[in-house]
Amino acid sequence: QVLVVESGGGSVQPGGSLRLSCAASGIPFDINAMGWYRQAPGKERELVASILNDGTTNYAASAKGRFIISRDNAKDKMYLQMNSLKPEDTAIYYCHVIWAGLRSNWGQGTQVTVSP
């Protein structure tokens, strides 16, 4: 059974930092790509950052310069270091895993709240 679990969310003041983690297990093939998405209340889910097997990264404009995505391929884990957080970063953050080229799984999400 494929399991994707996020952790590391919480509440922080503007300008603060959080580090999100994602752990994938039970995937029978190599993971092709992993990504972080977020969904704020009343808004659609959007891509924050993604990382391929070869380390190639992609960031949303809102995340560039503040967030860093990284991955431990050996452990099927992914991280998102979020710095200089803003209230508009408040959302549920989801981990997305693509494997076997076409299959994908989502985690349950972790809440990030940025407020004074």
- Residues contacting 10, CB < 8 A, separation 6+: 18, 111, 112, 113
H or E segment and range at residue 22? strand 18-25
Mean pLDDT of the chain: 95
Contact 45, 38 (CB under 8 A): yes
The tens digit of pLDDT for each residue in 13-57 reads 999 999 999 999 999 888 899 999 999 999 999 999 999 988 999
Overall average pLDDT of the 81-97 stretch: 98
Q: End-to-end CA distance of the chain: give it in Å, rounded.
A: 40
> Is 60 buried (19+), middle (13-18) or exposed (0-12) by CB count in 10 A?
middle
* pLDDT on residue 102: 86
**Nearest Cα residue to 57 out of 93, 88, 92, 81:** 81
Q: How many CA atoms lie within 13 A of 69 on its CB side?
A: 25
* pLDDT on residue 65: 97
With a cut of 90, say whether residue 83 has pLDDT above it. Answer: yes
Distance (Å, whole) CA 29 – CA 97: 12
Distance (Å, whole) CA 15 – CA 31: 33
